[in-house]
Amino acid sequence: MADLYPHKSGIGLMEPVALIGQNVCIFYGSVKNWRRVTYLEAIPPFQALDIGAVAAQTVSTKTQCTRLEMQKNEFGQFRWFPMDNAEFKFWLPHVDGRFTLKNLQVPVDMNITDIDPCLHLTEFFVWEDHSPWFDATNFMDYPMTQTRIKAMGFRYVTSALEKETVIKIEAGAEPCTYVVASGNAGNPK
């Protein structure tokens, strides 16, 4: 299907990036993981992380979001939003800041659901147990007892592709969806 691709932006809710039986190439760093989707499951919105209490006008420590880890041979497609009035910064993995410009790592706050109700701008992918990390900035003049995020998305179980199929994909004779599951993957194709 030509209309399935990462970070699809349009009117409407989140769609899976690949369907059962389709080929994907999951980039984690500079490694290409050539896979075929064998199972697909929707994951409804759930509390993915609570960084905990954050004092007034301070930044929390960077916290691993282990609830978004996947099993071996699985990847996840997620969108997320803050539940509490804090600004969250996002890393995938621990050292690769996301939403990073030359002079700024852009945080996400509760207003994201007003600006981008379908959360297209927060979509990311997790490969196996390489979970994301978050920190929270409490910009208020009072301490916060909770700094939580919610996530939702899709879980994909995959199997390795045969070498012949990979050769066909690289030659452009077989379709494939390219998924970047880390902050610094370079050019996927």
Report the pLDDT value the prediction gives residue 11, as an integer from 0 to 100: 65
pLDDT beneath 70: ranges in the chain: 1-12, 184-189
What SS3 state is found at 165? helix
Q: Please, what is the average pLDDT of the chain?
A: 90
> What pLDDT score was predicted for residue 9?
60
Query: What's the angle, vertex CA 52, arms to CA 48 and CA 54, rounded to 5?
Result: 130
- Distance CA(73)–CA(120), nearest Å, equals 25
Query: Would you say 149 and 60 are in contact if contact means Cβ atoms under 8 Å apart?
Result: no
d(CA 50, CA 83): 9
What is the model's pTM?
0.90
* The pLDDT value given to residue 184: 60
pLDDT of residue 36: 98
Residue 66 phi, psi dihedral angles, 5° rounding: -70, -20
The residue whose two tokens read 């997620």 is 78
132: Cα within 13 Å, side-chain hemisphere: 29
pLDDT of residue 2: 47
**What is the enclosing helix (H) or strand (E) of 139?**
none
Beta carbons within 10 angstroms of residue 180's beta carbon: 21
pLDDT tens-place string over residues 48-81: 999 999 999 999 999 999 999 999 999 999 999 9
